[in-house]
Every structure is written in C-alpha cells, then in structure tokens.
Amino acid sequence: MAQSNSDNEKSRLSMIIASQLAKDDWQRALHYIELAEKSALSSRSEKVKADYYNAVAEIYSEKDALDITLENFVKAYKYYQHRPLKERYRLENDLAIAYSETQNYEKALKIYHKIYKYDHTQKNPKNLAAVSNNIGMAWRSKNLDSSFYYFNNSLQLLEGIEYPYLKFLIYTNLAKSYLIKDEDETAKHYFHRAINEIGPNNINSDLGWVYGEFSELYLKNGKIDSAIYYSKNAVAILDSLAPFTVINRNAVEVLYKAYIKKEDFKNASKNLEKFFAISDSLNIEDRKAKVQKIILEEEYRTKDKIRELEESKSRLNFYILILALVVLLLILGIILYRYRNKLKRTDLEKELFISKQKELNSNLELKNKELIGKAMIELHRTELIEDILKDLKEVRLKASKKETQSAIDFIVKRLKRDTSPNIWDEFELRFKEVHESFYTNLCEKHPDLTPKDKRLCALLKLNLTTKEIAQVMGQSTKSVESARIRLRKKLDITNSQTDLSSYLSNFG
C-alpha cells in the first residue's frame, strides 16, 4: 500500500485489509477504515467515495449492524443510481436485502422488481429464481397470496435446472408460509420436498432446522412418537453443529414436551435441564450481541461527529486567517475577534459538559434496564417451573406405581430448588430504582389497584407489547388482553382513543 500513488488505490487497498481484519481485530480494522475514508475524500472522486461506502456497508453487514449497513449502502447508491444497471446490479441487490432486514419492505420490493426486470432481459433463470424468492419473502408479512405466487414462480424458473440449495430455500419458505396459513398438511408436503432436495444424509444445520419444524408440527397435531422422532434427529444434528442456537432450543423444547405427554418423565427431566442450559446461554449471547451492536453504532456515530468537528475546525481556521488579515489594519478588530472566540470556547465547553451529562444519564438508564430485563427472564423461568410442577403433581396423583411417584417427587424437588418465590419482589425493587415515583403517584390516584394490577402497570410502563407481557407473566395473549381491559376500567379510561401505556407514562 505504501507504493500506491493514487488516493483511489490507497482507499481500495485499505478497505481490503480492513475487511480481512474485521472478524479478528476490530480496532485495527477501524484504523484501516479511517485511512480508506481519508483517501476516498482526498480523491474528490464520487465513484471512489461510493465504492468506499459500499465496502464499509459490507463490513458492518457481517457485524449485523443493520442501520449502519443501510446508511452506507444508501450513500453508495446516490452515485450508482445514475450508472448503467449492469454496474449497479450487485449494489441494488445488497440494498434491497438491507431494506428487507430493516423491515422496509416497500423500498425493498421496489428495487427487487427493477433487478427482476434486468435479469429477465439477461435470460438468467437462476438469478431470476433467486430474486423471485427474495420478493416472495418480502411479501410474506404483507400478502401471503403474492408470496406464494413468487415462490412458485421461482420453482417454475428452476424446472430442469440443478440448483439444490435454492430449491431447498424455496420449499422451506413455502412450508413456513403454509404454516402461517394453518395448512399443516401442505406445509408437511413442502418440508418433505426440502429434505429430499438437500438430502437426508447430508447432515447440516439446515436439515436440523427442517426436522425441528417437522417435530413442532407433529406435536401440534398430537402425533407424539413422530414428534419425538423428528425432534431427536434435529437435536442430534444441531448438537454436533450448532448446539447453543434458537433452533436447537426449540427442538429440545418440543422433545421434553412430547416426553411429558408420553409420561416418560425421566427423559422429560433430562431434556428440560438441557432446555434451560441452552436458554441461559442464548440469553447471555443475546445480551453480548446487543452490547456489541450498541458499541459498534456508538463508535460509528462518534467517528462521524469527530469528522464533522474536524471539517468545522478546518473552516474555522480559514475564517481565522481571513480575520487575521483584517485585524492587522484595526487593533479594535483584533480585540473583538479574541473576545468572540473566547465566548465560542465557553459555549463549546458548556455544550460538551451537557453532552457528557446526557451520555452518563443514558448509560445509567441502560444499565438499570438490563437489570430489569434480567429480573424478567428469571421471572419467566420461575413461572415456567411452577407450571411444570403443577402438571407433575397432577400426573403423580394418577400414577399407580411407586417407582413412578418417586421419580416425579425427585423431579419436583430438583425443580423447586431452582424456583425463586420472591422474583416479583426483586422485579419491583429494581423497577423502583429506575422509576422512583411511579408507584407512589399511581397509588395516590388509584388506591384500589391490586398487586397484579400494579405489576401489569409496571410492564406497560416499560413499553412491553401484549405478546411480550404474556411471555414474561407466563400467560396467553388473550389473558393479557383481558387484563388490560379490566385495568382500563379500574383506571377509568373509557375513551378508546386514550393509549394505556401513554396514560401510565404520566405517573413518573
């Protein structure tokens, strides 16, 4: 790179090095990203700058920083949108994927359709099928019929063409879509086709995922032996490839539930412990990923702010030079100029102080929310154990053999050992640390609220959705919706236009 004479080449090589370092040495990668940025800006070439933004977007995409990825793809596209479609094809495809991942499906579909038209002129059925599959996924949350149309269109385009992985994706997408539509038999048909396409002896995480989906389907339909068979296959594959993943946790969950229905409590207990172990690991990894994402975004935003300040400083130096020439003529001008700069520095120091205070407050609030989140996770875990204990006690009453009763008692003792009876007290204690006056103000206006009512108020204050509250409290969404209706009556909020969460936010 030292032998490179042009800023264009320096920027390109710096980004290649940054891409290679991004996974193992992020700080060094950032150094080369900054070098590439300086060279791109120095080149005064819009193409060089666009290529730099495109490369940055690809690096942050690997880091799952979706907002930063989209921001840089958009910057690159400002240049390439006026170039021939052949030159912007890959960038448009990446941009459409970024829009889909950030759930901006309208913009994603608009770009996908442009790409589809271009591939149609090139007569490339594989590319057409891939784009059609992407369009189908973008439509899935908006219109299932449109989604089915594009998935089937992909299959027609691939007729007679060997492309097993893409066909596997299309079949699994069709199966998932039919599951959404509650057409289980059709979904089962496409899951079978997906397995046949990838090959049942070709052991990989995709096959494990399909077996896991199959097991959920059979458990839902009450076919316990089939549910156990496919979930065991899924767990066996995923244990060897990706043990601590959501799909493996789901497969283990199906397995222990199926064993409970079959009254095989020994295997149910073993798989329940495994489910908790995977869940705990996933919770830790999820928190790590979120913290890492926040750090990446803060680093990126801070770098932008520093660059803006540096540009402002350069402009300021230019103005100072002009003023310096003027003050040579007038001593009064020099005095006024210095006084003006002094005021600016004072204002800047005040702004920096306020900014630091805001940052400290934001960090404190984030830590408190993490503590509350931990309390919620423990609550869900405790309530799940209590539900299982209740079911086991009912099973024990029906069991005739003493060996079975002893086995159930052993499981109950182990589960009780992990149950925390004071979890809501912990939650409310942590909640009060963040929102000190909430309960006081709420009880002053509504003294008749029960502890459960206040608990629901606290969860709504945290802006949790009905589905999230149901998960935390271990209830169905319908039960939570009913509780919300009762709470509105107690709070005397009869106007349907008044939002419950907004009303509660006024109490502190």
Q: What's the pLDDT tens digit per position in 290-304?
A: 566 676 667 677 766
- The whole-number pLDDT of residue 72 equals 92
Query: 10 Å Cβ neighbour count for 366?
Result: 11
- The whole-number pLDDT of residue 379 equals 65
Q: For the chain, what's the residue count?
A: 508
Greatest alpha-carbon span in the chain: 108
- Grouping H, G, I as helix, E, B as strand and the rest as coil, residue 83 is coil
- The whole-number pLDDT of residue 153 equals 94
pLDDT higher than threshold 50 for residue 364: no
Q: How many helices (H) and strands (E) does the chain have?
A: 22, 0
- Grouping H, G, I as helix, E, B as strand and the rest as coil, residue 417 is helix
Q: What is the pLDDT of residues 302-353, one digit of tens each?
A: 766 666 666 677 677 777 888 778 878 888 878 888 888 888 888 888 888 8
Bigger pLDDT: 378 vs 449: 449
Q: What is the pLDDT of residues 446-460, one digit of tens each?
A: 999 998 898 889 888
Q: What is the pLDDT of residues 76-101, one digit of tens each?
A: 999 998 888 888 888 888 999 999 88
- The whole-number pLDDT of residue 149 equals 94
pLDDT higher than threshold 90 for residue 148: yes
Query: 10 Å Cβ neighbour count for 464?
Result: 19
Query: 10 Å Cβ neighbour count for 369?
Result: 13
The one-character DSSP state at 13 is H
Residue matched to tokens 């690809």: 58
Q: Strand (E) positions, 2-117?
A: none
When pLDDT is averaged across residues 244-254 and rounded to a whole number, the result is 87
Bigger pLDDT: 152 vs 201: 152
- The whole-number pLDDT of residue 86 equals 81
pLDDT higher than threshold 60 for residue 52: yes
Sign of the four-CA dihedral 119, 120, 126, 131:
positive
When pLDDT is averaged across residues 362-384 and rounded to a whole number, the result is 65
Q: What is the pLDDT of residues 107-139, one digit of tens each?
A: 999 988 888 888 888 888 898 999 999 999 999
* Global confidence as pTM: 0.50
Q: What is the pLDDT of residues 464-491, one digit of tens each?
A: 888 888 877 778 899 999 999 899 888 8
- The whole-number pLDDT of residue 260 equals 92
Q: Which helix (H) or strand (E) holds 267?
A: helix 265-327
- The whole-number pLDDT of residue 406 equals 84
Residue matched to tokens 């960038």: 91
- The whole-number pLDDT of residue 152 equals 94
Bigger pLDDT: 386 vs 147: 147
Tokens linked to 494: 């009869």
Query: What's the mean per-residue pLDDT of the chain?
Result: 83
Bigger pLDDT: 436 vs 225: 225
Share of the chain above pLDDT 90, in %: 16
Bigger pLDDT: 383 vs 146: 146
Among 2-11, 378-387, 418-427, 454-463, the minimum mean pLDDT is found in 418-427
